[in-house]
Amino acid sequence: MQALVIVAHGSHLNPDSSTPTQRHADTIRATGAFDEVKTGFWKEEPSLREVLRTVESEEVYVVPLFISEGYFTEQVIPRELRLDGWDVSQWDSDGLNADTATLVAEDTGQTVHYCGPVGTHESMTDVVVRRAETVTGDPDVGPGFGLAVVGHGTERNENSAKAIEYHAERVRESGRFDEVRALYMDEEPEVDDVTDHFESEDIVVVPLFVADGFHTQEDIPEDMGLTDDYRTGYDVPAEVDGHRIWYAGAVGTEALMADVVLERAADAGADIEDAIASVREETRETPAAGD
Amino acid sequence: MRGEQFDALVRRLDERPIDFDGLCAEWDGDGYAFETPDRTHEGLSQAGLHEAAANAEPYVTNWYFWEADVGHEGRHRRAFLRKLEAADERSVPERYDALETGMETEWGQLRITATLGDAGERRYEVRHEDDAGADVDALEAHEDPLDARDIATYDEKERYRPLKTAPTLVNGWVFPALDGRDLTETVDTFYPATIANWNLEREGELDVSHWEETMERQSGIYSVIQTWNRGEGKEHVEWVAESCCDDSQCLKRREWQYDEETELDAPGGDGAFPCREPCSLVVAAARKWTRLEGEESRTYEFELTPSEKEQVEDIIGAVADGRVDDVREADIYEGANRYRTRFLRAKRFDENGNLSGTPTEPEEETDGAGEGGDN
Ligand code: SF4
């Protein structure tokens, strides 16, 4: 038997924090690719300390629903899961290419394939683009549009900016959008001045966050001038300085995220090709091009 | 007894004997032996075995249920399902009798009823304990174990429930007919990991992490909690346990103590399932308390009438016990009544919100060279 465990931060205050995690787990569960699919949280239950004992399988793929490599993926999760002998060097990563390490959980004896976070996987770029399609309702969005990928910045974790840059660069290389920029909340170039960074009239703004919360629902919309008060909401698109801003909200809420979770598990050796193909199709919220 | 159940029995006896829940059977190369507490048969042909099995049907369907339906993969699941029919204490006929009408187990605020379906299958119903006597049709029926997620997200006042084992689960729903796997999934969604921890405890393997080692393990913004433990005894941890882990706040039975040697006096509670280490809510609260408790006590002077002093105590009691919403609008006999409280505020607070006009930070009066204002 093989199980998938998606681990995420969760929240004591915001019930929506874990919703995307649950939804992606449901999507994957429906494919039947794993005998069990469970979720574990730092701030909710089952806790990271106890999630593995809720899993019957002897072989477990653990995928962190985090945006970047850092404190949580390198220290907190392996410690709380009690992965015996974990050392971050097992990922042999420069901050962007953690893939997998196979360890034994001390308390349960299960074999755990501990994967890198979803946020740095190359297929995450597709989710950013899919998010742009969803928010504009246009499966071919790109020509005539600018795209901003938004992150925290380096203040708390230098790898966070690396992930933003990485996906922005990959979208840029694809040539699909007229302009692509990486913008940050707490460093230059700042998301506050989003319109200064684009010539295109239409700008899709995709925050690289796992779940919606304070930053994506309050800070960023107010900083960009979409609204004076987040409680009154904002239009999509919203007019700012002669540009139309298509604000997408957290990329992690996009259904295609389930695919990245699967890709992580597949890279770690899970045999789930068919599930990947079906999830890619079924999570599309706009009609596929040509439909 | 269904054909496939008998076939499974024969197949199994080809491989190895059965000794389970009062049923003993084997193939000795010449014939079958088949024994229950009531009867013993030996040297049976397959047809003879069939007849003996048909006459002892509950033993056979019971074996089949635990062998084929439940299986041995999920050790905690199996132990839990056996608990639900007291399988280790009662004989098969006793259980079948009791399951006919339903065997009930309380698990936190859940009430689980095990009953017998066709050919020894078990069916499980889960509902809220407050709905024990309710007509099943009056409750909202669910089939998918994961529906429990939504049911458990908010309390009756629509407030988010971050602690799944808080005694604030809403009622009005029922999972009327679950199989064993879906039942454990449902229970584990309402109360994550409680089945595993209960069984580990039962088997003497519960890995309790006490307060001290749990706080030792914390890093990042939580590492500060370690400083709260230095040479201050365990009183602070008693307060934490009393505040958060009391049965009125959390249905887990707290098994963690200050450390391996030092038990806490605060009651751990009577819950069916254990708590094996301070949870993330307690850790987050402890971080705040570590900071707050770093402050030194001061002596303040307040003017209060005796009734006002008691009213302050009433208000604290009402908030701590979650009774604020129960105080009726016009019940001015209650200290925590809103009008009474507003009156107290109008009378005793100054324009800066200071009780009795006493500032929180007293002005530093250092030899008349004070800088004035609040520091
Ligand atoms: S630490 Fe206390 S509040 Fe938290 S789960 Fe355990 S008993 Fe409940």
Report the CATH number at residue B225: 3.30.70.2320
How far does A267 lie from chain B, in Å, by closest CA? 27
Structure tokens at A210: 């796992």
pLDDT value of residue B205: 97
Query: What's the pLDDT tens digit per position in B275-287?
Result: 999 999 999 999 9
Q: Is residue B14 part of a domain?
A: yes
What band does B365 get if pLDDT is binned at 50, 70 and 90? very low
What band does B50 get if pLDDT is binned at 50, 70 and 90? very high
- B148 & B89 share domain: yes
Cα separation of B224 and B230, whole Å? 11
Q: Minimal Cα distance from A22: which residue of B? A: B149
- B191 & B223 share domain: no
pLDDT value of residue A133: 95
| Phi, psi at A290, each rounded to 5° | 95, -15
Structure tokens at B306: 């005796």
Q: Is residue B299 part of a domain?
A: no
- B111 & B156 share domain: yes
Say which CATH topology domain A124-252 has. Rossmann fold (3.40.50)
Q: Which of B70, B97, B113 is the last residue of a domain?
A: B70
Cα separation of A114 and A83, whole Å? 9
- B182 & B220 share domain: no
How many domains, in total, are found in chain B?
Answer: 4
- B84 & B189 share domain: yes
How far does B123 lie from chain A, in Å, by closest CA? 21
pLDDT value of residue A278: 87
Cα separation of A40 and A5, whole Å? 7
Nearest-CA residue for ligand 1 atom 4 is B279
SS3 A17: coil
pLDDT value of residue B373: 40
CATH fit for domain A2-120+254-282, picks 3.30.450.20, 3.40.50.1440, 3.40.50.1400, 3.50.50.60: 3.40.50.1400
Contact residues for B339 (Cβ-Cβ < 8 A; gap 6+): B330, B332
- B48 & B19 share domain: yes
Query: What's the pLDDT tens digit per position in A149-188?
Result: 999 877 667 788 889 999 999 999 999 999 999 999 988 8
- Residue A250 pLDDT > 90: yes
- Residue B231 pLDDT > 80: no
* ipTM over the 0.85 cut-off: yes
Q: Which of B13, B35, B70 is the last residue of a domain?
A: B70
Residues of A within 8 A of B193 (CB-CB) are 45-47, 50-51, 53-54
pLDDT value of residue A231: 87
Q: Range(s) for CATH 3.40.50.1400 in chain A?
A: 2-120+254-282, 124-252
- B42 & B85 share domain: no
- B117 & B179 share domain: yes
- B82 & B195 share domain: yes
Dist. CA A161 → ligand 1 center (Å): 37
- B212 & B261 share domain: yes
Task: Considering only the beta carbons, identify the residue of B77, B149, B220 that sits closest to A71.
Answer: B220
- Residue B213 pLDDT > 90: yes
B197 touches chain A (CB under 8 A): yes
Q: What is the mean pLDDT of residues B296-320?
A: 95
- Residue B271 pLDDT > 60: yes
Q: Is residue B300 part of a domain?
A: no
Q: What is the mean pLDDT of residues B47-64?
A: 96
SS3 A87: coil
Q: Is B103 in the pocket of ligand 1 (CB under 6 A)?
A: no
CATH number at residue B95: 3.30.1360.190
Q: Is residue B138 part of a domain?
A: yes
- Residue A291 pLDDT > 60: no
Query: What's the pLDDT tens digit per position in A91-117?
Result: 988 888 899 999 999 999 999 999 999
Q: Which of B70, B98, B116 is the last residue of a domain?
A: B70
Q: What is the mean pLDDT of residues B121-134?
A: 97
Give B175 or B369, the one with higher predicted confidence.
B175
How far does A56 lie from chain B, in Å, by closest CA? 5
Q: Is residue B373 part of a domain?
A: no
Contact residues for A216 (Cβ-Cβ < 8 A; gap 6+): A207, A209, A249, A250
- B150 & B134 share domain: yes
Q: Give residue B315's domain range.
A: 306-364
pLDDT value of residue A288: 58
- B180 & B245 share domain: no
Nearest-CA residue for ligand 1 atom 1 is B278
pLDDT value of residue A156: 65
pLDDT value of residue A20: 94
